[in-house]
Amino acid sequence: MNISRRQFTQGIGALAAVAVYSRKSFGFAENGLSLGLNTWSLRALSQQEAIPIIIQTMKQARLHNCQILFTHVEPARFNPVFPVGVFSPPKSSPTPQQIEQQNATDAALTQWRLSVPMSYFEDIRSTFEKQGLRIKSYSLRLGSSEAEIDRLFLMAKALGADSIVTRLPPTLTTMIAAAADEHQMIVGLQFSDLDEAKKQLAASQYFRIDPDIGDLTKAKIDALQFVENNYTSMSALDLKDAMSGGASVPFGQGEARVKAVLQLLKDKQVPITAYVDCDYAGTGRSPEEVEKCASFARGIIGQA
């Protein structure tokens, strides 16, 4: 992130058992604030193994909704050299060979997206729903053509999502805005430049921001002040704890002011989902760490 603190703060199927759970048991507060799982917390899982483990994790952590990462649904591997969405920037620039390999991977992914039947995504949705769970948001890597972008919105709908989440390049703003208007679907914008994000918000009534309080903290931004100033423009919130200017840490051990942010949203009765997003050392494929983070957050919003 390359903007000042002031700019930020002033700116805007494998499981067979079927169970029915109450809204309260899955982290819903009475005022509309709810907890969910950002499956980035399980980012190391491959497409082939992800769905049953995500479902297991959600049930174990009592989280009803999830924001699912595209690598858990599509044949695309997690590649930290080419960050998207909630990914942190790489520490070094990609080599020419890595760029060539990624271009080939992207081309293959585009072809898959344009040809895969929607029944594939509907089956995933059904697998979650049979467990009393829901895919509420789809965190994805955008394509560059109108045809591929249209398919992405259709894929999200087939999954049962009511929004997509992405980092939106300025060159695609007009195209994504048109698609959001056509499909009447919320687009949560992840960003590093608030001025650009504010311009993009004006492009469609369906555009919102989707901040990560851990990433804000890493950028030495006061996450509480940012949320207080901008919660009316938010579609969701990623819960992550981190040290100011440093690394991610377990919930409650950092300076992202997780407790204060959740208390603010609860007090203001903001109808929003706060997605547990744990990416500190030891996470990546650990339901136990997700459960710890979810338990910490649930205690703040008043759920047992």
Beta bridge partners, 28, equal 34
Long-range CB contacts (< 8 A, 24+ apart) of 200-204? 200/168, 200/170, 200/173, 201/12, 201/233, 203/173, 203/174, 203/176, 203/177, 204/176, 204/177, 204/178, 204/180
Convert 270-303 to b/e letters by CB count within 10 Å (16 or more is b).
Answer: bebbbbbbbbbeebbbbbebbbbbbbbbbebbeb
Q: 20-29, 63-72, 126-135, 149-158 — which is least confidently predicted?
A: 20-29
pLDDT at position 23 is 37
pLDDT at position 15 is 27
Average pLDDT in the 273-295 region? 95
Average pLDDT in the 9-18 region? 36
pLDDT above 90 coverage of the chain, percent: 74
Residue with the larger pLDDT of the pair 19 and 92: 92
Beta bridge partners, 138, equal 68, 164
Q: What's the pTM?
A: 0.86
Calpha distance 265→250 (Å, rounded): 21
Query: What pLDDT, in 10s, does the model give residues 210-219?
Result: 999 999 999 9
Average pLDDT in the 50-66 region? 97
Query: What pLDDT, in 10s, does the model give residues 182-195?
Result: 999 999 999 888 88
Residue 10 pLDDT > 70, yes or no?
Answer: no
| DSSP of 55-116 | HHHHHHHT--EEEEEGGGTSS----TTS--TTPPPPSSPPPHHHHHHHHHHHHHHHHHHHHS
Average pLDDT in the 134-145 region? 95
Calpha distance 171→155 (Å, rounded): 22
Q: 200-204, 238-242, 248-252, 300-304 — which is least confidently predicted?
A: 300-304
Residue 304 pLDDT > 70, yes or no?
Answer: no
Q: Which CATH number fits domain 5-301: 1.10.645.10, 3.20.20.150, 3.40.50.1980, 1.10.357.10?
A: 3.20.20.150
Question: Is 297 within 8 Å of 24 (Cβ atoms)?
Answer: no
Question: Is 270 within 8 Å of 231 (Cβ atoms)?
Answer: yes
Give 84's pLDDT tier (boundaries 50, 70, 90): very low
182 φψ region: left (φ > 0), alpha (ψ -120 to 50), beta (else): alpha
* Residue 290: its H or E element: helix 287-301
Query: What pLDDT, in 10s, does the model give residues 262-283?
Result: 999 999 999 999 999 999 999 9
Calpha distance 304→302 (Å, rounded): 7
Calpha distance 146→55 (Å, rounded): 32
Give 300's pLDDT tier (boundaries 50, 70, 90): very high
Question: Is 155 within 8 Å of 164 (Cβ atoms)?
Answer: no
pLDDT at position 87 is 34
